[in-house]
Structure 1
Amino acid sequence: MQAFDADVFVAGAGPVGLTLAMDLASRGAKVTLAEIRRYAEPPSVKCNHVSARTMERFRRLGVAGKLRDAGLPADYPNDVVFRTSMCGIELTRIPIPSRADRYSSREGPDTWWPTPEPPHRINQISMEPILLEHTAALPGVKLLNRHEVLRFTQDDAGVQTTVRDLDTQQERTILARYLVGCDGGSSTVRKQIGARLEGTPVVQRVQSTFIRAPRLREMLQGKPAWCYYSINPRRCGTVFAIDGHSKWLVHNHLNPNEPEFDSIDRDTSIRNILGVGPDFEYEVISKEDWVGRRLVADRFRDRRVFLAGDAAHLWVPYAGYGMNAGIADALNLSWLLGARLQGWGDEAILEAYEAERQPITEQVSHFAMDHAAKMIRARSAVPPNIEAPDAEGQEARDGIAREAYELNVQQFCCAGLNFGYYYDRSPIIASDGESPPGYSMGDFTESTVPGCRAPHFWLEDGRSLYDALGQGYTLLRFDPRADVSAFQSAAARRGMPLTLLDISQRHVPAPYRHKLVLVRDDQHVAWRGDAVPADPEALVGMLCGEPAGEAPGAAGQSLMAVQA
């Protein structure tokens, strides 16, 4: 084959594709992205939330600060409020700090999180341009705007992709070692590898409208909020503040007996959700109707071609885990591709991507679908007297307030989805026989069981543990007397990047009960023990993806058996 145009060709330059490119570039890879939109053409008004796990990686990629400085005004509360209508009676409120107070606030149900980077509320129309500008400036990254992927072929050496310039209609060929489809729910890449989306095709239809209403904020009672839930017998919906001034995204959640987007009048529904009369003026910027689904691809890979983000899974984006799950795909795949491209990872290391990410997306999709079902039931059970000024009306409002808070605090303060998931089917994680703790959408238990996220703590020099992780693997040593030279030598012979981090502080999270904990640079624990295994070469080989030549799990068991 001819010389490669790129190490990795990425179809799609939305948040998932851009994050993948950023992370690959940080590993020295050459990346080409193809995107059908023009450069800096605004995206749809979609995701409104960047999770803590995503922000943690953006911190390491040098873009977290730029994102924190964008979005809603610095002092604008990120609260979620429940009202009889947006301008109506307040029922309850989930307090979430403004971005000015995000690092310092200790009030509210998500300020306790063990992370250097809490979540950030910002709409994709403000977020994506920052990611795009940052990515376009990176060495080794090339953007092909107004280009669509037509077809591709692959062999043992690489992938040859034919793209078309949408302005000139000319076709060209891009030759890369790997191709990643980050090209959305209608993914051309997914279709061409023959992967099928399986699950529930329709969970919820949402009539969504992006509006400009300059007078709306002055009509709101009390403290403003990032998200407004409107609960009344006429129409239930959700409104998101986009700029904190005049732009709002109105979600009208259609009922099961309203099977089409045009089943009901859009204007009437918007007015019922906002709680405004016929004389209130607003402008429709765009219609953003969407269908909530629960679909996961039956495979995420065909040899040198991979799927990530909406190309691999689609579900109702409760807890913000649509885009954020896609970014988690990208970061998982990036470090595996980086290992392979840098030469220390065996080709088989790439098998870990599907083995790790597909089970997680299946789990998250069920969390989202279960929550969607509960929300649908709640919307169908709104008391008819919820707006009544009498004692019975107040009792109805109090009941709805309790139910709304308990149901929704877990999705807007979703510590479990951020920090609880684990990889328990991976060929490159050494199981030691202990099962990872379970988690829910809102709750989790910190753990160093291999496959779990390494619990965060601050180092004595003020750095986050994650800031100190090296590329590849980092060995945390909690006892300076533990001899790790044999492991270091085995890693050096294999060329596997290994950073030794001696932990001197006395107070670390309780789960760190072993003298040695090996952490991947995606923050997941790969191995732990009180001494280096008797055969460190075997451990290094497994970490680099070399086939063990034995039944799954056997390598991990042998490593566990020889620990001191």
Structure 2
Amino acid sequence: MLANELGRRGIETVLVDEKPGTAFNPQANATQARTMEHFRRLGFADEVRSLGLPADYPTDIAYFTRFCKHEIGRFNLPSAREAKDKVNAMAGSWSTAELPHRVSQKFVEAVLRKQAERLPGISVNYGWRMNAFRQFDTHVEVDVERVEDGLRQTLTASYMVGADGPRSKTREALGLIYTGETGVIRDFMGGRMYAIYARCSELYRVSPHPPAWMNVCFNTERRAFMAAVDGKGEFAFHTQLKPHEVETDLTEDDARRMFQAAAGAPVEVEILSRGSWTAGHSLVSNHFRSGRVFLGGDAVHLFTPAGGLGYNTAIEDAVNLAWKLAAVIKGKAGAALLDSYEAERQPIAKRNTNYAKTFADSLGLFKPVPEIEEDSPEGVCAREQAGLYFMAHGRAEFNIPGVTFGGRYDGPGHRLGRHSAAARQGERVYPQRLPRRASASPVAGGWQIAV
């Protein structure tokens, strides 16, 4: 996203990423309305909205004892086609040019890459890693290495941005640290989790319930949540590991049994990928910048993935930082404008990680009673009570225009001269596409930005 924003403003940028390409695993699954507005401004919102689930696939959030057993609650949300139709008639808190879209990050990343590679002055280089960097008064030197054969080069850039994830080498080299809360243990969404990217088209035939985008499994044996990836049988499945389950010992058959336990049926499951991760983080870096080096995304804020806020917060980091870098590089603003990036984005990161923690607490601290799956009056009563709870939870987690649109920049950080006016002007002035420029060379030489 940063490369797209900078390229549109005519800023030569080189991006290196040690992965061979964009994501294979589903990762984030919710694109919030503000992010869709940014995609609209850049001209590819319709392309993003056409990806992922079929146009008429419901984006409901549904709660079950098991996916093929009792449904205990459902929060209805529009399909992609309905969202496009509804946007012209909606008012109030959801009065926006773009409603949220449920699409896997793997599809969004591919669009962002394609769009960035079309821009003059943007060099996108997968299969390259950053090994080290050095700051000087006027520039940054960045040592990069090609993963395939160890070929090394040194880039020279005006600025560098480390968007290198929660284990950020850039943050570590700068001596910056996460602050906040971590290691939270909950009955669900706290502690050791296991992610399974699975293909199971049979689930649609076996389940007696209408399809949903997000499916939550609530019982005493195997709690899980599962996002539909393509609406045809691919799912991003996440479950809480039990104390006796050691992630390094788990086999593909174990992963298959986990999925089947949550389904409540012996469905055929193809495991596409699997791995462990840890829930229970609400972390924000103590600083977002040191000299000519900036941080963004998971490198400065780490969420438990509730509410779909992590990826969307990262998108807005890129939008905020890009126009400021462009303004300073072009001489339209003084270097002090760059101080506003941390002043503005750090409070938003703290607010959003706190919201995500609240949603994770609401889901993970609510425990199922033993009779939740019984076909008895007690079981019916337990499911009714759980359904009421989850309906309230669903509204709180997914109907969030205040979180989506409510970020604002004020307070002590805006004692930077006329920075508030500059920010407002920047948001209006810089989004337009600039005249095309000559294509940049591959990794080498001098750049304005290294990402």
Identify the TM-score tier after normalising by the shorter chain. Answer: 0.7 to 0.9
Which consecutive residues of structure 2, in runs of 5 or more, have no partner in the other structure? 185-189, 433-451
**Deviations 1:350-378 (CA, angstroms, capped at 9, x unpaired):** 00001111111112112212222232211
5 Å-filtered alignment, 1:70-109, equals 70-105=51-86
CA contact (8 A) 1:44 1:288 kept: no
Q: 1:260 Cα shift?
A: 5.0
Question: Structure 1 residue 396 and structure 2 residue 350: aligned?
Answer: no
What one-letter code is carried by the residue in structure 2 that aligns with 1:65? D
CA contact (8 A) 1:195 1:297 kept: yes
Question: Structure 1 residue 304 and structure 2 residue 292: aligned?
Answer: yes
Q: 1:428 Cα shift?
A: 6.5
Decide which moves more: 421-430 or 88-97.
Answer: 421-430
Higher relative contact order (CA 8 A, sep 6+): 2
Question: Structure 1 residue 337 and structure 2 residue 325: aligned?
Answer: yes
Corresponding position of 2:404 = 418
Alpha-carbon separation, structure 2, partners of 1:110 and 1:336: 32
Question: Structure 1 residue 472 and structure 2 residue 426: aligned?
Answer: yes
CA contact (8 A) 2:8 2:431 kept: no
**Deviations 1:20-67 (CA, angstroms, capped at 9, x unpaired):** 1101111111111001122x4544320001111111111111121110
**Deviations 1:204-239 (CA, angstroms, capped at 9, x unpaired):** 221111111121111122321111111112211111
Q: CA RMSD in A?
A: 2.7
Q: TM-score with structure 2 length normalisation?
A: 0.87
Match of 2:164 among 183, 196, 209: 183
Decide which moves more: 266-275 or 308-317.
Answer: 266-275
Runs of 4+ in 1 over 3 A off after TM superposition: 40-43, 109-112, 257-268, 428-431
Q: TM-score with structure 1 length normalisation?
A: 0.70
Question: Structure 1 residue 367 and structure 2 residue 321: aligned?
Answer: no
Alpha-carbon separation, structure 2, partners of 1:268 and 1:259: 13
What one-letter code is carried by the residue in structure 2 that aligns with 1:101? E
Q: 1:272 Cα shift?
A: 1.8
Alpha-carbon separation, structure 1, partners of 2:245 and 2:353: 22
Corresponding position of 1:32 = 14
Which consecutive residues of structure 1, in runs of 5 or more, have no partner in the other structure? 1-18, 432-449, 455-470, 475-496, 498-519, 523-564
Corresponding position of 1:208 = 195
Question: Structure 1 residue 47 and structure 2 residue 1: aligned?
Answer: no
Question: Structure 1 residue 358 and structure 2 residue 312: aligned?
Answer: no
5 Å-filtered alignment, 1:121-160, equals 121-160=102-141
Alpha-carbon separation, structure 2, partners of 1:321 and 1:234: 28
Bigger radius of gyration among the two: 1
Corresponding position of 2:447 = none
Corresponding position of 1:162 = 143
Q: How many residues align?
A: 419
**Deviations 1:112-160 (CA, angstroms, capped at 9, x unpaired):** 6121011111001222111111111111100122110011111121111
Alpha-carbon separation, structure 1, partners of 2:71 and 2:86: 24
Match of 1:325 among 307, 313, 318: 313
Question: Structure 1 residue 174 and structure 2 residue 155: aligned?
Answer: yes
Question: Structure 1 residue 194 and structure 2 residue 175: aligned?
Answer: yes
Higher helix fraction: Structure 1 or Structure 2? 2
Question: Structure 1 residue 237 and structure 2 residue 224: aligned?
Answer: yes
5 Å-filtered alignment, 1:498-537, equals none
Corresponding position of 1:385 = 371
Corresponding position of 1:530 = none
CA contact (8 A) 1:110 1:413 kept: no
What one-letter code is carried by the residue in structure 1 that aligns with 2:277? W
Decide which moves more: 129-138 or 41-50.
Answer: 41-50
CA contact (8 A) 2:217 2:223 kept: yes
CA contact (8 A) 2:193 2:238 kept: yes
Alpha-carbon separation, structure 2, partners of 1:285 and 1:110: 42
Match of 1:270 among 259, 262, 274: 259
Alpha-carbon separation, structure 1, partners of 2:37 and 2:288: 25
Alpha-carbon separation, structure 1, partners of 2:241 and 2:181: 17
Q: 1:183 Cα shift?
A: 1.0
Q: 1:393 Cα shift?
A: 1.9
Q: 1:84 Cα shift?
A: 1.2
What one-letter code is carried by the residue in structure 2 that aligns with 1:271? Q
Alpha-carbon separation, structure 2, partners of 1:58 and 1:273: 35
Change in Cα spacing, 1:268 to 1:195, as seen in structure 2 (3 Å) is same
Alpha-carbon separation, structure 2, partners of 1:272 and 1:50: 29
User: What SS does the aligned partner of 1:221 have?
Assistant: coil
Alpha-carbon separation, structure 2, partners of 1:323 and 1:220: 31
User: What SS does the aligned partner of 2:116 have?
Assistant: helix
Q: 1:266 Cα shift?
A: 3.8
Corresponding position of 1:289 = 276
Percentage of pairs with the same residue: 32
Change in Cα spacing, 1:28 to 1:314, as seen in structure 2 (3 Å) is same
**Deviations 1:248-287 (CA, angstroms, capped at 9, x unpaired):** 11110246x568546985444322211113xx32111100
Alpha-carbon separation, structure 2, partners of 1:72 and 1:111: 27
Corresponding position of 1:551 = none
Change in Cα spacing, 1:274 to 1:374, as seen in structure 2 (3 Å) is same
Q: 1:402 Cα shift?
A: 0.6
Match of 2:4 among 7, 11, 22: 22
Change in Cα spacing, 1:473 to 1:251, as seen in structure 2 (3 Å) is closer
Change in Cα spacing, 1:289 to 1:95, as seen in structure 2 (3 Å) is same
User: What SS does the aligned partner of 1:349 have?
Assistant: helix
**Deviations 1:178-221 (CA, angstroms, capped at 9, x unpaired):** 10001111111111111111223323221111111121111122
Alpha-carbon separation, structure 2, partners of 1:301 and 1:407: 36
Alpha-carbon separation, structure 2, partners of 1:104 and 1:32: 39
What one-letter code is carried by the residue in structure 1 that aligns with 2:2? L
Decide which moves more: 298-307 or 392-401.
Answer: 392-401
Alpha-carbon separation, structure 1, partners of 2:194 and 2:148: 32
**Deviations 1:69-103 (CA, angstroms, capped at 9, x unpaired):** 11101111011111111111111111111101112
Alpha-carbon separation, structure 2, partners of 1:408 and 1:428: 39
Alpha-carbon separation, structure 1, partners of 2:240 and 2:417: 45
Alpha-carbon separation, structure 1, partners of 2:230 and 2:244: 31
